[in-house]
Amino acid sequence: MLKQAVILVGGLGTRLGEMTRLVPKPLLEVAGKPFLDYILDELSRYPTIQDVVLLAGHQAGQVVDRYDGRRWRDASVSVVSEPAQMGTGGALKHAADRLDDKFLLLNGDSFFDFNLLDVAAGPAHSPAIVRVALKKDLAGDRYGRVLLDRDFIKTFLPAGAQPNGPINSGVYCVDRKILSFIDELPCSLEQTIFPRLAEQGQLRAALYDGFFIDIGVPSDFERAQSELPARMRRPAVFFDRDGVLNIDKAYVHKIEHFEWVPGAREAIKLCNDLGYLTFVVTNQAGVARGYYGIKAVHALHDWMSRDLAQIGAHIDEFQYCPYHEEGVVAEWRQASDRRKPAPGMILDCLKGWPVRKESSLLVGDMPHDLQAAAAAGIKGHLFEGGDLLSFIRPLLDRDAA
């Protein structure tokens, strides 16, 4: 399971001129906050990614001061500083003792909006040292193009050689075996290592069509000021849990009793792939009734996250309400505005995440789920069993239309 993301933040940013002389390019402000914050916000959506390592070079002290030792939602952030400019490959080699066996690698000066876990959950029959996320097409001559043979990368064309076709987005799923290919410093992954991996059939690709921006030139840096914040506002899907995501066997709280509803994992992944924020909002009165404790709720949700990650899916946040006014456990015996049909759990998600409320929806199996949705001002849909993927697909298609 993928637990680590590594971000390259050490480049000089020479094409931005005076702006990056004293400030690392990823720390330049976009709409009032550092560009790197947007990348960290995105990574922190994935609960299995718990370790984020920043590889700093130019003006590394600023990166250390702002980020080292921080937590970003549930992820810990640390910084490794290069002693000198070592190139992207050299930065990895220098951080070798910090790298997991498998990790996400991202450029700190570009943002690509797609389901990051999908590139990590590539087909088991096609392992590779590096799996590259490609932007399907981006017109113009700024970027080089990537030539493919099925999912094999065959070669890279220089900028201007071809006006369209897929481009390298700067997002990779990497096996630490790549370190054995980095034998001279400084070293560029893109210019030196990737062509060698391509020759050996160890460089594979997956195509995605999300929003992409690279702030490396002044015109795109200016464009990011308005486009990137707007893209961060997303529609959301709120799922009830028991009876929607898992078979309702009454107070399910043990992994061995948990059984996914048919199509549930795939429905969550569809939401992820289409760019929806994805939440679980579940009443857990079993805590108040003394059937199980808070730790059991967290353990089950953590297991769900790990199981979803196997297919490249995730839940952005699990919200649960342990209260009930007739509970036997005094700590949890009370009415709560978070217990459905009250909308508290939904409202907390709306406050804590950049949700585009007008395009959001809830899927529940009980009338009180729909009442909570209505009270929060979002659409509610009653799921009465069957395949959840088949149920939700037309709802998302309708919203996209």
> If pLDDT is split at 50, 70 and 90, which confidence band does 160 have?
confident
Q: How far is CA 21 from CA 11, 18, 27, 58, 373, in A?
A: 11, 5, 12, 9, 50
- Over residues 208-216, the mean pLDDT reads 95
Query: Whole-angstrom Cα distance, residue 256 to residue 286?
Result: 17
pLDDT of 213: 96
Query: Do 133 and 227 fall within a single domain?
Result: yes
Chain CA centroid to CA 354, Å: 14
Domain interval for residue 122: 4-232
Q: What is the DSSP string of 158-171?
A: PTTS-SSS-EEEEE
Query: Whole-angstrom Cα distance, residue 289 to residue 251?
Result: 10
pLDDT of 163: 81
Q: In this structure, are residues 328 and 290 in contact, taking their beta carbons and an 8 Å threshold?
A: yes
Query: Do 215 and 302 fall within a single domain?
Result: no
pLDDT of 285: 97
Query: Do 263 and 391 fall within a single domain?
Result: yes
Identity of the amino acid at 50: Q
How many Cα neighbours within 13 Å face the side chain of 35? 29
Closest CA to 288 of 254, 251, 322, 320: 322
* CATH number of the structural domain spanning residue 45: 3.90.550.10
Query: Do 182 and 271 fall within a single domain?
Result: no
Query: Do 319 and 218 fall within a single domain?
Result: no
pLDDT over 70, % of the chain:
98
Query: Do 367 and 392 fall within a single domain?
Result: yes
Closest CA to 322 of 291, 294, 301, 300: 294
Task: Name the domain boundary from 171, 206, 232.
Answer: 232
Query: Do 206 and 89 fall within a single domain?
Result: yes
326-339 confidence digits (pLDDT tens): 999 999 999 999 99
Query: Do 202 and 326 fall within a single domain?
Result: no
pLDDT of 371: 98
Query: Whole-angstrom Cα distance, residue 232 to residue 167?
Result: 22
Query: Do 217 and 272 fall within a single domain?
Result: no
Query: Do 159 and 256 fall within a single domain?
Result: no
244-284 confidence digits (pLDDT tens): 999 999 999 999 999 999 999 999 999 999 999 999 999 99
Q: How many domains is the chain built from?
A: 2
Q: Residue 273: in which H helix or E strand, if any?
A: helix 264-273
Query: Whole-angstrom Cα distance, residue 110 to residue 210?
Result: 13
Query: Whole-angstrom Cα distance, residue 366 to residue 31?
Result: 42
370-390 confidence digits (pLDDT tens): 999 999 999 999 999 999 999
Q: Residue 118: in which H helix or E strand, if any?
A: helix 116-120
Return the number of other C-beta atoms located less than 10 Å from residue 199's C-beta: 11
Q: What is the DSSP string of 298-330?
A: HHHHHHHHHHHHTTT---SEEEEE---TT-SSG
- Over residues 293-299, the mean pLDDT reads 98
Task: Name the domain boundary from 215, 232, 249.
Answer: 232
Return the number of other C-beta atoms located less than 10 Å from residue 284's C-beta: 25
DSSP classification of residue 188? -
Which range has the top average pLDDT, 33-42, 134-143, 177-186? Answer: 33-42
Active site residues: 240, 242
pLDDT of 398: 62
79-123 confidence digits (pLDDT tens): 999 998 999 999 999 999 999 999 999 999 999 999 999 998 876
* CATH number of the structural domain spanning residue 368: 3.40.50.1000
Residues forming a β-bridge with 213: 111
Helix, strand, or coil (residue 29): strand
DSSP classification of residue 192? I
Task: Name the domain boundary from 179, 210, 232.
Answer: 232
Query: Whole-angstrom Cα distance, residue 318 to residue 320?
Result: 7
248: left (phi over 0), alpha (psi -120 to 50) or beta: beta
> If pLDDT is split at 50, 70 and 90, which confidence band does 125 have?
low
Query: Do 162 and 281 fall within a single domain?
Result: no
Q: Residue 196: in which H helix or E strand, if any?
A: helix 194-199
Q: What is the dihedral of CA 307, 207, 122, 279, to 10 degrees?
A: -10
Query: Do 250 and 222 fall within a single domain?
Result: no
pTM confidence score = 0.95
pLDDT of 401: 41
Identity of the amino acid at 122: G
Please check the confidence at residue 159 and state whether its pLDDT lies above 80: yes
Return the number of other C-beta atoms located less than 10 Å from residue 23's C-beta: 17
In the numeric block, the tokens 């004293």 are attached to 22
